[in-house]
């Protein structure tokens, strides 16, 4: 096993992409900070935001569970979704727990801190901003589409859309400190426009990345998203990441070289989603170093039958494999 020697790793993202990476990294270093996107407004999270005025708990919950050292039962408790016909149908226990704590403490960071203690996590989970904002997309005609959930269903028709946060959001000082102190900053895989973009668009994030001495690594997605990243190759994803950062800041790009099973590819093809292409000629001329490796998980993540608010089956990264690649980069 590679020894971490206490390296400080910051993971920026949200949702299942961050979950997989954090779940692998926690076995190699305790110096992990998960900086979580706060634009989520779909499913259980969206209902809690609308009904309680709470900050979005869903991605925070997933990162807490990923870093947890508690028992399997405790981790499953936080991910447990109430059955469809129950009083809390479709909601996860962890989302309700975090939103209730926020109301009791009147502080979302304090709520996250209490949940971190309950779950006995490795490292820490930090909201990238504490401002209650929404993601906004603007097309070439100037038409605006608001809210992450609506944007995730939009079709871009091959055009690069403009994005901003409304109202403007400022970086959480704790998140800024983590970036500046990091040895490696990892931009996690996940939905490019509704998970990573809103995190990178927070005022102060780009500046912090520019000031940081850390190596900045992007772990590229495994599959494309219909209507948004159709035909995207690895370098296309990297270009979009740097468009949101506002500068050529990537040092490394990790991408998968092992194709998913034919069964999974066929399942995704029905949704018009396909494996991300690799153009080695373009990658060889890039300012960052592109590194290919077998990063895919052999485990299929099935959708929760009780999740009536959001359902999906995932092809995921293997967190252990990605963690090993990241540590190799650190020791280069």
Reading the block at residue 128, the tokens are: 């990238």
Structure confidence at residue 213 as a pLDDT band (50, 70, 90): very high
Lowest mean pLDDT among 53-67, 168-182, 187-201, 297-311: 297-311
pLDDT score recorded for residue 82: 86
Rounded Cα–Cα distance for residues 302 and 11 (Å):
24
pLDDT at residue 255 above 90?
yes
Lowest mean pLDDT among 112-121, 137-146, 183-192: 137-146
Under DSSP, is residue 146 helix (H, G, I), strand (E, B) or coil? strand
pLDDT at residue 313 above 60?
no
Reading the block at residue 70, the tokens are: 């508690």
Output the 3-class SS for 83-107: CCCCCCCCCEHHHHHHHHHHHHHCC
Which whole number is the average pLDDT over 166-174? 97
Most confident of 51-55, 124-128, 299-303: 124-128
Domain boundaries, the chain: 9-330
Structure confidence at residue 57 as a pLDDT band (50, 70, 90): confident
Rounded Cα–Cα distance for residues 157 and 227 (Å):
6
pLDDT score recorded for residue 332: 82
pLDDT score recorded for residue 52: 66
pLDDT score recorded for residue 271: 85
User: Sign of dihedral through CA atoms 220, 237, 132, 316?
Assistant: negative
Which whole number is the average pLDDT over 168-185? 98
pLDDT at residue 250 above 90?
yes
Rounded Cα–Cα distance for residues 148 and 193 (Å):
9
pLDDT score recorded for residue 188: 97
Q: Which strand (E) or helix (H) includes residue 74?
A: helix 72-79
For the entire predicted model, the pTM comes to 0.92
User: In what side-by-side order are the strands of the sheet with 124-127?
Assistant: 124-127, 32-36, 9-13, 184-187, 215-219, 252-256, 289-293
What's the CATH number for 9-330? 3.40.50.10680
Structure confidence at residue 84 as a pLDDT band (50, 70, 90): confident
Which whole number is the average pLDDT over 63-92? 86
pLDDT score recorded for residue 87: 66
pLDDT at residue 299 above 80?
no
pLDDT score recorded for residue 309: 37
The whole-chain average pLDDT of the chain stands at 89
Look-up of token digits 């219909």: 226
Structure confidence at residue 284 as a pLDDT band (50, 70, 90): very high
Are the beta carbons of 230 and 267 closer than 8 angstroms? no
Residue 163 phi, psi dihedral angles, 5° rounding: -130, 150
What's the DSSP call for residue 305? T
pLDDT score recorded for residue 49: 64
Percent of the chain whose predicted confidence (pLDDT) is above 70: 89
pLDDT score recorded for residue 41: 73
pLDDT at residue 131 above 50?
yes
Q: Which strand (E) or helix (H) includes residue 21?
A: helix 15-25
More confident residue, 61 or 306: 61
Which whole number is the average pLDDT over 298-323? 66
């Amino acid at each position: 096993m590679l020894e971490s020697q206490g390296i400080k790793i910051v993971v920026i993202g949200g949702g299942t992409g961050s979950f997989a990476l954090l779940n692998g990294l926690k076995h190699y270093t305790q110096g992990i900070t998960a900086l979580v996107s706060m634009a989520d407004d779909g499913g259980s999270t969206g209902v809690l935001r609308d009904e309680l005025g709470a900050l979005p708990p869903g991605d925070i919950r997933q990162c807490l569970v990923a870093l947890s050292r508690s028992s399997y039962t405790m981790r499953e408790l936080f991910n447990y979704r109430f059955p469809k016909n129950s009083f809390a149908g479709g909601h996860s226990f962890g989302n309700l727990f975090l939103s209730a704590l926020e109301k009791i403490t009147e502080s979302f960071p304090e709520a996250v801190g209490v949940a971190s203690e309950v779950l006995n996590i490795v490292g820490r989970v930090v909201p990238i901003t504490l401002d209650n904002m929404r993601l906004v997309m603007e097309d070439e005609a100037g038409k605006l589409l608001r809210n992450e959930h609506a944007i995730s269903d939009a079709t871009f028709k091959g055009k690069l859309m403009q994005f901003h946060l409304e109202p403007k959001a400022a970086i959480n000082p704790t998140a800024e400190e983590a970036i500046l102190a990091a040895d490696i900053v990892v931009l996690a895989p996940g939905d490019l426009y509704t998970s990573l973009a809103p995190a990178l668009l927070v005022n102060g994030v780009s500046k912090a990345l520019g000031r940081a001495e850390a190596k900045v690594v992007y772990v590229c997605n495994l599959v494309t998203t219909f209507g948004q990243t159709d035909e995207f190759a690895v370098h296309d994803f990297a270009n979009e990441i740097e468009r949101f950062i506002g500068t050529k800041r990537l040092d490394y790009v990790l991408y998968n070289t092992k194709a998913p099973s034919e069964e999974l590819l066929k399942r995704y093809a029905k949704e018009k989603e396909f494996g991300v292409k690799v153009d080695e000629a373009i990658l060889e001329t890039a300012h960052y170093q592109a590194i290919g490796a077998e990063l895919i998980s052999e485990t299929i993540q099935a959708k929760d039958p009780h999740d009536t608010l959001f359902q999906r089956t995932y092809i995921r990264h293997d967190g252990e494999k990605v963690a090993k690649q990241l540590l190799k980069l650190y020791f280069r």
